[in-house]
């Protein structure tokens, strides 16, 4: 049995994050942008909430390709406010 941090709990998504990502150095710019973006979306919410929506963020924000995200228009962001798979907070989405 693997020893885990107490915050991890038993949710399989959280366990995978803890075991495979937490504390692992990241040097890939796209992955760093993803983590920065998700951390901003998480403000005031639990991390598991964000992990559950992560795949939809990847889909809606071009797999966190900074060049593609930078070209998004106000209309693109407004359209994403209708997506229940994202945190539908206008300021958070515009922060991306």
Q: Within 10 Å of residue 80's Cβ, how many Cβ atoms?
A: 19
Asked whether the whole model's pTM tops 0.85, one would answer yes
Q: Is 39 a catalytic residue?
A: yes
Structural contact between residues 64 and 58, judged by C-beta atoms closer than 8 angstroms: yes
- Tell me: the pLDDT tens digits for 35-87? 999 999 999 999 999 999 999 999 999 999 999 999 999 999 999 999 999 99
Number of domains, the chain? 1
- Selecting among 39, 55, 78, 94, the annotated active-site residue is 39
CA distance 22 to 18: 5
What residues make up the domain containing 76? 27-95
The whole-number pLDDT of residue 2 equals: 81
Contacts of 62 by beta carbon, 8 Å cutoff, 6+ apart:
68, 69
Q: Is residue 45 part of a domain?
A: yes
6 within some domain: no
Report whether 31 contacts 63 (CB < 8 A).
no
CB-based contact 85:56 (threshold 8 Å): yes
Query: For 4-16, what is each residue's pLDDT tens digit?
Result: 999 999 999 999 9
Residue 3 lies in a domain: no
Does 14 participate in catalysis according to the annotation? no
Q: Is 7 a catalytic residue?
A: no
């Amino acid at each position: 049995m693997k020893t885990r941090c107490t915050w991890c709990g038993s949710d399989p998504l959280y366990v995978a994050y803890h075991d495979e990502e937490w504390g692992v150095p990241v040097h890939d710019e796209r992955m760093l942008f993803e983590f920065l973006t998700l951390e901003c979306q998480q403000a005031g919410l639990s991390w598991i909430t964000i992990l559950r929506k992560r795949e939809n963020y990847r889909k809606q924000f071009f797999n966190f390709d900074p060049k593609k995200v930078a070209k998004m228009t106000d209309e693109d962001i407004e359209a994403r406010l209708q997506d229940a798979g994202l945190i539908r907070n206008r300021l958070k989405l515009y922060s991306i």
